[in-house]
């Protein structure tokens, strides 16, 4: 999210995106991480508590259960690492503004 440009033996740092965009990326990725964590907790509670009741009373198919579990795990495995990576990069880029003179997007 930060790039370095060297001109006349002087290095300058620039944000690749505007500061407003970086703050939005950081905010959205925090919400994605929280949402995925809540989804994970619901998936565990579903599997521990409600799955047996649903199978016995409503004929919940084993294939449907496998598809449901695979979909939940795919969401967890895709969104959580990506959002954590992007959120940490955005936080680091914003934090470095206090240490270095980083100019806004060119």
**Nearest to residue 33, comparing CAs of 82, 68, 74, 94?**
82
Tens-place pLDDT, residues 67-102: 877 887 888 888 888 888 888 888 888 888 888 787
The residue ranking higher by pLDDT, 44 or 51, is: 44
- What's the rounded Cα separation, in Å, for the pair 12 and 103? 8
């Amino acid at each position: 999210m930060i790039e370095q440009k060297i001109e006349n033996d002087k290095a300058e740092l620039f944000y690749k995106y505007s500061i407003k965009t970086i703050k939005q990326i950081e905010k959205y990725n925090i919400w994605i991480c929280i949402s995925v964590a809540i989804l994970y907790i619901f998936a565990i509670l579903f599997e521990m508590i409600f799955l047996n009741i649903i199978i016995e009373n409503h004929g919940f198919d084993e294939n449907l259960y496998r598809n449901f579990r695979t979909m939940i795990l795919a969401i967890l495995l895709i969104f959580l690492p990506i959002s954590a990576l992007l959120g940490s990069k955005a936080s680091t880029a914003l934090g470095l503004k206090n240490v270095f003179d980083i100019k806004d997007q060119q």
